Every structure is written in structure tokens, then in C-alpha cells.
Amino acid sequence: MSRSKRNELLEKALIAFNRGGYYAVGMDRLVKETGISKTSMYKHFKTKEDLIEAVLRLRDEKFRGWLVGRIDSLAQDPVGRLLAMFDALDEWFHTKEFRSCMFIRASSEYPDSNHQVYKVSAEHKRLILNYVTGLAQQAGVEDPILLAKQLLLLKEGAIVTAHMLGPDGVQHTAKEAAKTLIYASLKKAPTPLAESIPQSAPDA
């Protein structure tokens, strides 16, 4: 299979798995939906799980690239970008392609933490956590890792809620909770200005 055919397969398989799930979409259905024969598929991917892993890596690249780019376009400062994450998510929630998170679903269908599909799903979440931690560090909060983990919980909860109960109002609720957490962290953090003020007047 040529590289272009491989990329075509991954793009079409991504759509198929997103729509139908991982166990439910078998190789016969993939052949039907991608137009690529089983023989060609197995030339590049030894197992269906190898294909799923490659699809998830593609999804990770696409989703993180979109998310970071969209956040950067919505806000200029670190605090604004932390909050803009929920605005970007809301846009995704209202697309026809939104069917919850492909990584959450993959880890649910492959719950063994040693499985390759589970591992690549968990790695996606770690990369998102690292990105949010970096923004929190830039914002100067007291405990960037703790705040990032709290915001990630809100993000994941928003995804599940939007999928299960509908997207309307989810962004507002999650963003308001994020504001409370961020501003509380900022209040606790020492500011450079405060650190530069002397405790007593110098001798004349």
C-alpha cells in the first residue's frame, strides 16, 4: 500500500470508528466504507488494533492541532487561553461530527491499561494535560499542575455531559467553574510586584 493509500485508509477509518465505535466496526465494514480491500489493509497493519492505534495517533495530531490553534486565535494571554479552551470545546460540541471523545471511547472498549489502544488513548490525555499545565505556569498560578488537573476534569466532564445530555449550556457551566478555580489559584500566587517591594524602608 502506498503512503497516500495508507493516509486515505486512516482518514476513512477515523470517520468509521468515530461513527460506529471500535468493536462494532469490523474489517468487513471498513472494506465497505473505505473501498480498500482487506489484503491491502493487512499489508500495512497486521491487526485491527494496529489500525485503531494508527487512527488514534492521527486523531491526536488533528485534535490537538485544532484545539491549540483555536485557543490561540480566541485569546492572547495565558488566563484567557485557559478559559478559551471551553469556548473551543463548545464549537466542537455543536458540530455534526461530535460523538464524544474517541479516546474516552477507545479506553472504554479496551480497558486493559497494558493494551496498545489504551496506552495511546491515555497518552493523548497526558499531552493535553501538559499543554494546560504550560498555560497555567505562564499564568503564574500557585500550583500549575493541580490547576491543570482540575481543568482537565472539567474538560472531560463537559465532553461526556455534552454527549449524554446535549451541548446547550455545558460550556457556560464548565467555564464558570474554571473561572472560580483559576482566579482562586491566582489569588494565592505571589506576584512579582509584591516580591519586589521591600519590607522596610532602607536606611537614609
For 173-197, the pLDDT digits (tens) are: 999 999 999 999 997 765 544 343 3
Integer Cα distance of 78 and 65 in angstroms: 17
For 66-117, the pLDDT digits (tens) are: 999 999 999 999 999 999 999 999 999 999 999 999 999 999 999 999 999 9
Please report the pLDDT score of residue 190 as a whole number: 57
Q: For residue 203, is pLDDT > 90?
A: no
CATH topology of domain 47-188: Tetracycline Repressor; domain 2 (1.10.357)
Comparing CA positions, the residue from 27, 46, 20, 14 lying closest to residue 109 is 20
Please report the pLDDT score of residue 188 as a whole number: 74
Integer Cα distance of 6 and 131 in angstroms: 29
How do the domains of the chain map onto residue ranges? Answer: 47-188
User: 140 — alpha (psi -120 to 50), left (phi > 0) or beta?
Assistant: left
